[in-house]
Chains A and B, each alone.
Chain A
Amino acid sequence: MITSKLKEALICFRAGRVTLRYPFEPSVPPEGFRGQPQLDITKCLGCGACSMACPTRCIEVTNEAEQRRMEYCFDRCSYCGECAEACPEGGITMSSEFELATDSVTDLRTVAYLDLVRCESCGEVVGTAREIDKLAQELATKMNVAADSMPWLRWCARCKRESSLATAQVLQPAEAHL
């Protein structure tokens, strides 16, 4: 009887400590763990793809007079990683940060303002200045045209339709196929 108890005690001593010393030591989550999304606002174009992808509607995009307001409310975040997947610029990455307890819910919120571009003729919102600058550069290199030869990047869809014949004639002179 007593020997069996001694055996048991021996087994327990041999095994050593089996619990983690967390929170006295940092805990390293396993690979692939999805923690808090990390935002790099310098990369954000303001396109709003993240807000469309987010199932818990953490990310709100609203247009103000001169600026686009991006509000990230990570207090509602479900750590699904859809925003990081959607972001065309890699501006959101999933970190392994999980110790998010805070006294104030606003600690988990970030607001960013990006400059808006409005249609040159009607004033309708076209996009953010970053989107348009990026497109102008990218299209110029990929299609081998001058970056300032695309005035329509600053027009809204309706005004583009209304001047579509003029645009077409500029792009393709009538003589080419007459």
Chain B
Amino acid sequence: MNVLYLNLTRCIYCRACEVACEREHDGISRVAVTLVDPRQPVPVSCRHCEKHPCLEACPETAIEAAPGGAIIIHTRKCISCGLCVIACPFGAIELDAGGKIAEKCDLCEHRQRDGRLPACLLTCPARCIEYGPLDDILAVARTKPGATFVAAMGETGTVVTLPDRSVPGV
């Protein structure tokens, strides 16, 4: 199972990941780099939670937990009720501009089919975003200073390390 890893010590709020995501998904970014406090930008996108409230909320079968760990929205089955938007703990799902279809990060499913990595992490100039098997990611994340946690519901999902604010200059 592959997961995303956000090393937030590195994020420089350049929003290049948003541009990369726009390029891959018809001009609409599914990442939103958000300032959570005056000093900490966070690229917020789907955390691909192990316990997935969006999937449980969907009255159709439009949201699927793919075998690789990604949570995928099947846009053709979406009835645009917006229940997943309310259910998501992270604000990572939104209806598209016409209010028609729920959209969120699909870990660049179309790129991964060709054996390519998601566009956001290839674009990130600060190498804040990484992607790989959960155990490898956790091994790397534990070596970082500051708080490490799985930033999703359940035991798997996106791994995040926060900068260690107690150390000056980190």
- A108 lies within 8 A of chain B by Cβ: no
Known: A150-B89, A174-B147, A177-B142. A161 touches B34 (CB 8 A): yes
| Interface SS of A by simple majority | helix
- A49 lies within 8 A of chain B by Cβ: yes
Among the listed B40, B56, B60, B88, which residue makes an inter-chain contact with A165, where contact means beta carbons less than 8 Å apart?
B40
Question: Which of A26-34, A69-77, A151-159 makes up part of the contact surface?
Answer: A151-159
Q: Interface 1/0s, chain A 41-69, versus B by CB < 8 A?
A: 00001011100110000000000000000
CA distance A127 to B85 in the complex (A): 10
Residue contact A161 to B56, C-beta cutoff 8 Å = no
B99 to chain A, nearest CB (A): 7
Which A residues from 125 to 171 make CB contacts under 8 A with B? 126-127, 131-132, 135, 138-139, 142-143, 150, 152-153, 155-169, 171
A43 to chain B, nearest CB (A): 12
Residue contact A153 to B86, C-beta cutoff 8 Å = yes
B80 / chain A contacts, CB cutoff of 8 Å = 48-49, 52-53
A164 to chain B, nearest CB (A): 4
> Number of B residues whose C-beta is below 8 Å from A?
46
B36 / chain A contacts, CB cutoff of 8 Å = 162-166
> Number of A residues whose C-beta is below 8 Å from B?
43
Residue contact B34 to A164, C-beta cutoff 8 Å = yes
A174 / chain B contacts, CB cutoff of 8 Å = 147-149
- B53 lies within 8 A of chain A by Cβ: yes
Which B residues from 32 to 83 make CB contacts under 8 A with A? 32, 34-36, 40, 42, 44, 47, 51, 53, 56-57, 59-60, 79-83
Top 10 closest A-B pairs, CB basis?
Answer: A160-B91, A88-B59, A168-B151, A47-B81, A157-B91, A161-B91, A49-B81, A52-B80, A142-B56, A49-B79
